[in-house]
Amino acid sequence: MAFAKWGWENSDVYLFGGYTGQPPDEIHVITCCGCLLAREDEDDWLMGPSLDFGTKAEILAHLAAHRAAGHVVPESAIERITDEDWVT
């Protein structure tokens, strides 16, 4: 399930729900795919690695950092992450 995709509402982030581990011990995460904040070279046009976040507090803080860096994070993504229970 995607919370945001590149280009949706001018989004600079691609966020989707996933999990780590194997059943029955898997942990739900929200992945920031190709995270621009994790690039090693800011001038490199290629995306960075993907990062996983296991709590709402972690992903919301990460998205605040994206916004502070000038990246577009759709408000609808923030609302869905806050309202849904994919991560706690």
Q: Which residues contact 63 (CB under 8 A, 6 or more apart)?
A: 13, 73, 77, 78, 81
Strands 15-20, 2-4: parallel, antiparallel or unpaired by DSSP?
A: antiparallel
Residue 18: CA atoms inside 13 Å, Cβ hemisphere, count? 13
Q: What is the pLDDT of residue 46?
A: 67
Q: What is the pLDDT along the chain (88 residues), one digit of tens a residue?
A: 899 999 999 999 999 999 998 888 889 999 999 999 998 877 766 678 899 999 999 999 999 999 999 999 999 999 999 999 999 9
Distance CA 26, CA 17 (A): 13
51-53 vs 2-4, strand pairing mode = unpaired
Q: What is the pLDDT of residue 41?
A: 74
